[in-house]
Structure 1
Amino acid sequence: MPTVRRSALPALTLALALAMPLTGCGSTSADPTDGSATAADDAALTLEDGWAKATDGPMTGVFGTLTNEGDADLHLVEVRSELAGMAEMHVTVDDGAGGRVMREAEDGFVVPAGGEHALEPGGDHLMLMQLAEPVETGQEVALVVVDADGGEHEFTVSARAFSGAEEEYAPEQETEDR
Structure 2
Amino acid sequence: MKAADEGMSAAFGELTNSSDQDVTVTSATSEASSMLELHETVENDAGEMIMRPIEGGFVIPAGGTLHLEPGGNHIMLMDLTAPLAAGDEATFTLTFSDDSTYEFTAPVKDYSGANETYEGDDQDTDE
Q: TM-score range by the shorter chain?
A: 0.7 to 0.9
**2:54 pairs with one of 89, 100, 105:** 105
Q: Over alpha carbons, which structure has the higher Rg?
A: 1
* Helix, strand or coil at the partner of 2:102: strand
In the alignment, structure 1 segments of 5+ residues that lack a partner are 1-51
User: Are 1:130 and 2:76 counterparts?
Assistant: no
User: What amino acid is the match of 1:126?
Assistant: I
Report the RMSD for the aligned CA atoms in angstroms.
Answer: 1.5
Q: Distance in 1 between matches of 2:2 and 2:78?
A: 12
Residue aligning to 1:80: 29
Sequence identity of aligned pairs in percent?
A: 43
User: What amino acid is the match of 1:77?
Assistant: T
User: Are 1:167 and 2:116 counterparts?
Assistant: yes
**1:90 pairs with one of 39, 55, 75:** 39
Number of residue-to-residue matches in the alignment: 121
TM-score (norm 2): 0.88
Quick one: structure 1 residues 118 and 152, their matched pair in 2 at CA, closer, same or farther if it must change by over 3 Å?
Answer: same
Residue aligning to 1:117: 66
Q: Distance in 1 between matches of 2:7 and 2:13?
A: 21
Higher relative contact order (CA 8 A, sep 6+): 2
* Helix, strand or coil at the partner of 1:72: coil
Quick one: structure 1 residues 127 and 133, their matched pair in 2 at CA, closer, same or farther if it must change by over 3 Å?
Answer: same
Q: For residues 15-34 of structure 1, what are the structure 2 equivalents within 5 Å?
A: none
User: Are 1:69 and 2:50 counterparts?
Assistant: no
Higher-helix-fraction structure:
1
Q: Shift of the alpha carbon at 1:168?
A: 2.5
Q: For residues 40-79 of structure 1, what are the structure 2 equivalents within 5 Å?
A: 52-79=1-28
